[in-house]
Chain A
Amino acid sequence: MSLERWERLLGEVIVIPGVRGAALVAVDDGLVVAEAALDQLDGADVAALVAALVSRAARVARSIPTEPPRLIHLAGEGGTLLAIEASAPLWLVAVAEPGAEVGRLRVLLGDLAGAVG
């Protein structure tokens, strides 16, 4: 898989109305692998916090106990963050405005996660 291909996949995410940006994040080190349109967001910060979120969600899942999370949906007043496991350790992440089409975004991320490879 090439960076160009990953950026093309992320390009499909950011055309959804209301999506502020998308990134492919390595959750084992909390770093950005590829990103698209995260102009007003610091992609590195998003990656670090998503990795922490995934790590904590995994710990919660272990303590319940249940299977590790494959999708994290964080909804707040300022917007939505969706993260879905792609190919370990990579997670596909999208940040959207409050009015974004989250349902469509969720389906698309699910489809694209399988293509990250």
Chain B
Amino acid sequence: MTIQAQTIKDKNGNDVVLFKLFGDLDAFSSRDFKSLVIDFAEKGHSRYIVDLSGTPFIDSSGLVALISLLKRARMMGGYLRLVGVQEPIMEIFSITGLDRVFEFYDSVEKALNAD
């Protein structure tokens, strides 16, 4: 998996970390993702968007990594928004009940402009 990270601004001018994931998020690759998340969290970031449009597969370890990021964000008063979740992956969110936990958006732009 390849992960791109960049800092952008949301509609209120707040810094948002955008992670773009390319490849499968499984028990192996989620460790790299977790490490990257910790790096950004330790720098004080609390607002995140994860673009999963390039992720055709996710497993329970990947879900746990996203939950970990969500908890970090909320603990610091921020948010985590997911973008571009493909249909087979959405089914995994639904099975685990996480479709009611995460916020989903069609595009990064919509996630940035959300209330």
Are A and B co-members of a single complex? no
